[in-house]
Structures are given as C-alpha cells and as structure tokens.
C-alpha cells in the first residue's frame, strides 16, 4: 500500500491536494518482479473458485500493460490456470477494457463458440507512470479482478446486456504513451515512454461520454433511472463519478466507489469495485446495476445486469 503521505514526501503535493482532486487516499503498487500475468492468474483463480468451477472455454484478458509486446498475455494466464488449449487473447481498451471484455465474452457465448468465458481485467499501470509526475503518480495503482461468464437464460440474474461501446481515435493524444509501439519503438526521450494525460479535457470527455453511454443502455433495456440500484463506474476520479451520477439523476447512495482505497487501476477497476461492493453488502442479489467506463483511445462503454447471488473470491 502506498499512501498519500508517502507520495507527498517526494513530490510537490499533499494529502489534502490529492484527496480534494481525486478522492484517493491510498493505492496498491506491485512488488518488483510482479507482473500483469501474476495478477491476472490470481484474479482468475479466485473467480473460478467463487463460481465453483475449474474449467473455462476461453480467457479474455483486458489489459494495456501486457507482460510483453508480443505475444499476448492471456495464453500464459490460461496455462497457469490449468486451462490448456482454450482460446485466450488480450483486449486493449485501457480503462474501458473490462466492459469491452464483458462484451467480447458475451459475444463468444452468444455465437456458440464458448459456454464459459473467464473475463479478467488486470493492469500494472504504475509501470507506465513517470515517477516524477505529480499529475499522474497519485492517481494510478495496480490490480486485477475477474468474473466467469456462462451461458444462461436472458431473464435470469447475472444476464448481461445490452451493451453500448464506442471510440474516438482522433483524440488519442489526450491520454497516451507515445513510444514503445511499432510507430515509435525507441525514443531517446524517456518521457515518451510514460503516460501523458491532459487531465481537464479528459475529465470533460469522460463525464459526457459515460453519461451518454449509460443513458443508451438504460433506454435499450427499458429501465428508468429510478430503477437503478447501483452505478458502478470506472474508478478514475471521485469527481467524475459524482458528476456522472448527478447528470444521470441518480441518488447519492446509488453511486458506488472504492477509489479512496485503490486509486485508478485501469481495466481492473470495475471488477475490483464489484467484488468490494459485494463483500461489503452494497450489492445484493437482484440489484439492478449499471456499469460504465471511459479510457484512453478514446474508448468508452456501458452495460447492465441484475446482480446474481454470488460470493466473491
């Protein structure tokens, strides 16, 4: 655990400044040598145990911090979980990755390709952060979370959908790491290998797009705003979540947040929030839940479900 005071001691900031602008008090950072695959395997193991299963037909890993540029990390995760030979691939939609991963997993099931899909959101996002950047260091943490999707009936608890997924590539430079890929593999400027974020502009786009997307899935499902029991948004910034809830007309107690304790864990934030909400009783079987995310790309999306009777791992 890395608290605000530890960050304040080495950067020009303070606990009050971080809390007032982000809502974050602490975050988790991996030990040296711990990778995204390591986190994903542990999250996947817990999800399988929670579901009472030992098998899955596919693994979808939502991450933007794969252990290597090539190959994808999901096959390694599948092998370490004993899921040899199953379909396994990465989905990189950054902070929207888990919602995109859920859509992908649901699509595999709907197409008859798989009956059980393990969807994992995992990121060691601190590996992309300039340790001297007071604008990003306080925000991001590392983590992983996972769910096991299975084929079922549309009306039962846990059934996902509809989905609403979007992107806007023209705005990629608002939130990106310039170097490291095929276009700019080796930059002499070390800053090119770290995340650059235009915070205020990203804030405005995140609020507008998440609200728009949440309204779209509510309309598609025939739900009214008053029907929603919990809004689980990507845990990027407490003010983004509060603004989204206000613009949607949701009551204050409908919006769930655990960002104070974990920070922004990118693709892992929604599954971690779901697990925490279930553990502390904020999610109950039958609750109508809307999930929404926004991330680099730009990417954003939403989906919804009625919460099943599950015990998180």
Q: Which residues make Cβ contacts (< 8 Å) with residue 263, sequence separation at least 6?
A: 22, 24, 26, 27, 28, 138, 139, 140, 141, 235
The Cα 113–Cα 48 span in angstroms is: 19
Respond yes or no: is residue 70 known to be catalytic.
no
Joined together, the tokens standing for residue 192 give 């090119």
Q: Count Cβ neighbours within 10 Å for each residue of 140-165 and write b for 16 or more, e otherwise.
A: bbbbbbbbbbeeeeeeeebebbbbbb
291: left (phi over 0), alpha (psi -120 to 50) or beta: beta
Q: Considering the candidates 95, 207, 244, 287, report the single residue annotated as catalytic.
A: 95
The Cα 272–Cα 163 span in angstroms is: 20
Q: Considering the candidates 4, 92, 237, 264, report the single residue annotated as catalytic.
A: 264
Q: Considering the candidates 4, 92, 207, 234, report the single residue annotated as catalytic.
A: 234
Q: Which of 48, 116, 33 is nearest to 82 (CA)?
A: 48
Respond yes or no: is residue 264 known to be catalytic.
yes
Respond yes or no: is residue 234 known to be catalytic.
yes
Q: Which residues make Cβ contacts (< 8 Å) with residue 36, sequence separation at least 6?
A: 63, 65, 66, 67, 73, 122, 123, 124, 144
Helices 238-248 and 199-221, packing angle to 10 deg:
40
Joined together, the tokens standing for residue 219 give 């309309």
Q: Which residues are catalytic?
A: 95, 234, 264
């Amino acid at each position: 655990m890395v608290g605000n005071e530890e960050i304040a001691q080495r950067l020009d900031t303070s606990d009050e400044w971080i809390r007032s602008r982000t809502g974050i008090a602490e975050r988790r950072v991996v030990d040296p040598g711990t990778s995204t695959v390591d986190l994903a395997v542990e999250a996947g193991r817990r999800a399988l145990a929670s579901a009472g299963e030992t098998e899955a037909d596919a693994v979808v890993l939502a991450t933007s911090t794969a252990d290597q540029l090539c190959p994808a990390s999901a096959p390694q995760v599948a092998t370490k979980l004993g899921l040899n030979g199953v379909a396994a691939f990465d989905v990189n939609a950054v902070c929207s990755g888990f919602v995109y991963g859920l859509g992908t997993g649901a699509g595999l099931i709907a197409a008859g390709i798989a009956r059980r899909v393990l969807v994992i959101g995992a990121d060691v996002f601190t590996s992309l952060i300039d340790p001297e950047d007071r604008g990003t260091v306080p925000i991001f943490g590392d983590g992983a979370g996972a769910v096991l999707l299975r084929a079922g009936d549309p009306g039962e608890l846990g059934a996902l959908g509809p989905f609403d997924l979007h992107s806007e590539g023209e705005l990629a430079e608002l939130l990106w790491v310039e170097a490291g890929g095929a276009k700019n593999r080796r930059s002499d400027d070390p800053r090119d290998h770290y995340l650059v974020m235009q915070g205020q502009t990203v804030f405005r786009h995140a609020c507008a797009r998440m609200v728009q997307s949440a309204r779209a899935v509510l309309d598609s499902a025939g739900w009214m705003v008053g029907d929603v029991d919990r809004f689980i948004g990507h845990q990027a910034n407490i003010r983004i979540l509060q603004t989204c809830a206000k613009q949607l007309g949701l009551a204050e107690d409908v919006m769930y947040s655990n960002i104070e304790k974990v920070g922004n864990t990118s693709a892992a934030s929604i599954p971690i929030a779901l697990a925490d909400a279930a553990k502390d009783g904020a999610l109950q079987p039958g609750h109508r839940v809307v999930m929404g995310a926004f991330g680099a790309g730009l990417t954003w999306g939403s989906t919804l479900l009625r919460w099943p009777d599950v015990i998180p791992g």
